[in-house]
Amino acid sequence: MSGRTLIWVIPTFLYVAFFAWYTNLAGPLDADEISHYLRRFEEAELAPERIAMLRRFMQEDTGDDFYVVNALDLRAEPERVGEVEPGETSEEVMERYMAHMYPELFRRACHPAIYGLAVGPALDLAGIEGAEEWTAAAMVRYRSRRDLLDIATNPAFRANHIYKLAALDKTIAYPIEPVINLGEPRFLVALILLVISFGLQLAIARKPS
């Protein structure tokens, strides 16, 4: 196989591998999977209204990736739960939770997409009280609802989720499916590989014979 051919074959293979890993190819949740996750939530003794909400979330699965939007307001001092030690800050306790989450996310092609600290109070607020002040906001990308549920039903998650709650004074988290996403990694990776391939092909073409 010539070098010119490899310039395109290798990037194509890399992109197909990335696309297959980064994309949910298993489709929406089926009835058996929904029943399985519901049993796990019942075993965890979640409140009936929360289980009903999760049932709807699963039944309305489109099979597409989605983002969870998080508004976060950290406590001045974290609650003393689990292994939280005197003197630990809420930021450190939150990192204890994220130390569990990062590996669970990355191995499933899920990841934080944006994170930032608040630089002022809420500029627009309606229909909700006590939401003027926030510490930070984040958006986390999930490959599928199946991936989120696998993380959430793992007993290790529940053991670490207490640290997130201990660090937060208040939070709102809800899922969205993007309609516009200019930072879509599948597009960006394809663009980068195309630029590299065209650059290599141009370099070979200019190389003296």
Q: Give the integer Cα–Cα distance in Å for 97 and 105.
A: 12
- Kindly report the CATH class assigned to 65-176: alpha beta
Give the tokens for residue 183: 């930072």
Domain boundaries along the sequence of the chain: 65-176
pLDDT tens digits, residue range 84-111? Answer: 999 999 999 999 999 999 999 999 999 9
Q: What is the mean pLDDT of residues 33-44?
A: 97
Chain centre to alpha carbon of residue 187: 18
Give the tokens for residue 12: 């194509």
pLDDT tens digits, residue range 106-164? Answer: 999 999 999 999 999 999 999 999 999 999 999 999 999 999 999 999 999 999 999 99
Whole-angstrom CA distances from 37 to 22, 103, 147, 173, 183 are: 23, 21, 12, 20, 31
Instruction: Name the percent of the chain lying above pLDDT 90.
Output: 80
Q: Please say if the pLDDT value at position 184 is more than 70.
A: yes
Q: What is the mean pLDDT of residues 181-204?
A: 85
Instruction: Name the percent of the chain lying above pLDDT 70.
Output: 98
CB 168 within 8 A of CB 91: no
